[in-house]
Amino acid sequence: MSSEQSRLIARVRDGNLIAFRKIMELHQRDVFNLAYDMTGNRQDAEDLSQEVFIKAFYAMQHFRGDAKIGSWLYRITVNTCIDKARKKKEEIYDHSEEFNDTNSVPPKYWPVSYGDNPEKQAEKSMMQRHIQNALQKLSPGERTVFILRHYHDLPLGEIAKILDISPGTVKSQIHRAFKKLQTQLSFYRNDFGREVQK
Amino acid sequence: MKCKACRTLFPDAVYNELPEKKRPAFHAHLHECESCRRQYDELKLTLGIMDEKERPQLSETDWDQFWQKLSDKIETRKVDAKAFTSWLGKIKAIFQFEPKWAVQIAGMAGILFIGILIGRFYFGAEPTGIKTTSPAFSMNAELAGTTSAYLQRSKVVLLGLVNFDPQKDDPYVLNFPEQKKISRKLVKEAFVLKRQLRQSHQEQLCRLVSDLEVILMQIANLESDYDLPAIEMVKSGVERRGIFLKINIEEMEKNQKQQMESEKNIPKNSKNKI
Ligand SMILES: [Zn+2]
């Protein structure tokens, strides 16, 4: 841990909010993105991120200097997401209906502009739905491992530490996740493969 | 390398985590085995599709608002912490600075014991056996049981707080929803219990339940499940008397068991008398 970071942490322990904001700013996107990946919903992701940083502020008293603050926050985020999902299971995780309804409009908060080509736009938003749908088909464990590895670039060993499970379990979960995703997206792969090769 | 071993390495390979020494064998196998090669390519294509996933991008303004909301919440909790300190004072008064608590429990154990004796007396004095459900006795025994169970459950909640060790226990997996739930239930039950105790003139017990009610209500209303400094303060306040409390309640439980046994035995004896 850098001495700058230790100084910030020491100030947070004294209740200094400015120091806490500095730490937060370094990690807010990672936390938000992970929460979004886990929930697939912007509002939920924002609420969860709030909760994560409140916990982090109070738990900073007990943050061990040898741990990485990023991994620590990831761990809080995963636990908070799983906790919330347990509490309102259907609401958070089961978006399958929403995603299966191919006529539904993509959520308005997707900020990406697809240009003026409506056909391309429809295709892209459909793909977003299929990706989310495929993720929702994974078990919470498989989904968490896959998201941390694929979208947050964490080595499998570190995922094991963050989730407090054995490396073997991480491996078998990512294997199962791969299998399910391949099945879910098989109809896509041929088109996509052709397009990539073009 | 066999196909199975090769496929086991897919997650490592696809994310460039393959150990150096396994790399040549892995790639050699892919080169010669069409089935594994096809599988591997398909996996990479699937992951390529997953790469297309998009996320909302929060603007600087969004983050400013996010911080505003967050810092407001933290400030509010600081105020809560002050309120907490004040109720903590009450807990300390009960657990630490006043022997009232321990005395009351010891007294209560005595009262319950007397209740049992009274019960025996009623049974013993009952010549016909018709009034084995004499209201005086059944109410005492039942009320003693209810009170004992009530105190036992309160003890579990309080010890849960006392036994939390912030050095050993993970602060962010710590939460008290269950304790809060039980506390809420106990607070509700306190109302009925106090009335029953008052009706049978158990003033001391009634006051004890009132004291507990205050503490339990505070636990039930704890705003934050993760208020670590607060928990630590409760812990230090309750620690010393908490042990006292435990011992006394356990004594009471023993009495309770004896009472249950005598309850089983007495009707048999009274039947014999007839
Ligand atoms: Zn092979």
Q: Is the pLDDT of residue A145 over 80?
A: yes
Instruction: With CB atoms and an 8 Å threshold, state whether B49 touches A185.
Output: yes
pLDDT top residue among A197 and B73: B73
Give mean pLDDT, residues B165-188.
65
Give B15 Cα–ligand 1 centroid separation in angstroms. Answer: 19
Instruction: With CB atoms and an 8 Å threshold, state whether B229 touches A58.
Output: yes
Q: How far apart are CA B10 and CA B141, in angstroms?
A: 69
A51 neighbors A45 (Cβ within 8 angstroms) = no
Mean of all residue pLDDT scores within chain B: 67
What confidence score (pLDDT) does residue A98 get?
41
Q: How far apart are CA A147 and CA A174, in angstroms?
A: 10
Nearest residue to B74 (alpha-carbon basis) of B245, B273, B223: B223
| Per-residue pLDDT reduced to its tens digit, A104-113 | 333 434 444 5
| Three-class SS state of B49 | helix
Distance from CA of A187 to the nearest CA of B (A): 10
Give this complex's ipTM: 0.81
pLDDT top residue among B240 and A53: A53
Q: Is the pLDDT of residue A185 over 70?
A: yes
Give mean pLDDT, residues B125-136.
34
| Per-residue pLDDT reduced to its tens digit, A111-141 | 445 456 778 888 888 889 899 999 989 999 9
Nearest residue to A147 (alpha-carbon basis) of A21, A45, A22: A45
What confidence score (pLDDT) does residue B33 get?
96
Orientation angle between helical segments A17-39 and A140-150, nearest 10 degrees: 120
pTM of the shown model: 0.59
Decide: residue B215, CB within 10 A, 0-12 exposed, 13-18 middle, 19+ buried: buried
Give B42 Cα–ligand 1 centroid separation in angstroms. Answer: 14
Choice among A23-27, B21-25, B233-237 with the minimum mean pLDDT: B233-237
**Residue-range domain boundaries for chain B:** 3-48, 135-263
| Per-residue pLDDT reduced to its tens digit, B185-230 | 999 999 999 998 888 877 767 777 777 777 777 677 665 544 555 5
Give mean pLDDT, residues B93-98.
44
Substitution target in A17, A54, A55, A150 with the highest count of B β-carbons within 10 Å is: A55
**Unique residue bearing structure tokens 């995703």:** A181
Q: Is the pLDDT of residue B263 over 90?
A: no
B91 neighbors B215 (Cβ within 8 angstroms) = yes
Partner B, chain A 119-148, Cβ-Cβ below 8 Å: 127-128, 131-132, 134
Domain range for A154: 3-196
| Confidence grade of residue B269 (pLDDT, cut at 50, 70, 90) | very low
Q: Which of A158-162, A189-193, B91-95, B143-147 has the highest mean pLDDT?
A: A158-162
Number of domains forming the structure of chain A = 1
Give mean pLDDT, residues B19-42.
95
Please give, one letter per residue, the 3-state secondary structure of chain A: CCHHHHHHHHHHHCCCHHHHHHHHHHHHHHHHHHHHHHHCCHHHHHHHHHHHHHHHHHHHHHCCCCCCHHHHHHHHHHHHHHHHHHHCHHHHHCCHHHHHCCCCCCCCCCCCCCCCCHHHHHHHHHHHHHHHHHHHCCCHHHHHHHHHHHCCCCCHHHHHHHHCCCHHHHHHHHHHHHHHHHHHCHHHHHHHHHHHHC
| B57 vs A111, A127, A131: nearest CB | A111
| Three-class SS state of B15 | coil
Instruction: With CB atoms and an 8 Å threshold, state whether B228 touches A59.
Output: yes
Q: Is the pLDDT of residue B61 over 60?
A: yes
Q: Give yes or no for A192 touching B (CB within 8 A).
A: yes
| A181 vs B46, B55, B173: nearest CB | B46
Q: Is the pLDDT of residue B136 over 70?
A: no
Q: Is the pLDDT of residue A144 over 60?
A: yes
Instruction: With CB atoms and an 8 Å threshold, state whether B17 touches A62.
Output: no
Tokens standing for residue B52: 């297309």
| Three-class SS state of B109 | helix
Q: Is the pLDDT of residue A97 over 50?
A: no
Q: Is the pLDDT of residue B105 over 90?
A: no
B96 neighbors B162 (Cβ within 8 angstroms) = no
Give B19 Cα–ligand 1 centroid separation in angstroms. Answer: 19
φ/ψ region of B175 (left if φ > 0, alpha if ψ in -120 to 50, else beta) reads beta
Q: Give yes or no for A167 touching B (CB within 8 A).
A: no
Q: Is the pLDDT of residue A12 over 80?
A: yes
What confidence score (pLDDT) does residue A26 get?
93
What confidence score (pLDDT) does residue B173 get?
39
Q: Is the pLDDT of residue B9 over 90?
A: yes
Choice among A37-41, A48-52, B53-57, B89-93 with the minimum mean pLDDT: B89-93
Instruction: With CB atoms and an 8 Å threshold, state whether B50 touches A150.
Output: yes
| Confidence grade of residue A27 (pLDDT, cut at 50, 70, 90) | very high
Cβ neighbours of B57 in A, within 8 Å: 111
| Per-residue pLDDT reduced to its tens digit, A13-23 | 888 899 999 99
Instruction: With CB atoms and an 8 Å threshold, state whether A156 touches B11.
Output: yes
Q: Give how far Cα A7 sits from Cα of A14, A48, A57, B23, Å.
A: 11, 27, 15, 43
B29 neighbors B36 (Cβ within 8 angstroms) = yes
- For residue A139, the domain's CATH number is 1.10.1740.10
Mean of all residue pLDDT scores within chain A: 81
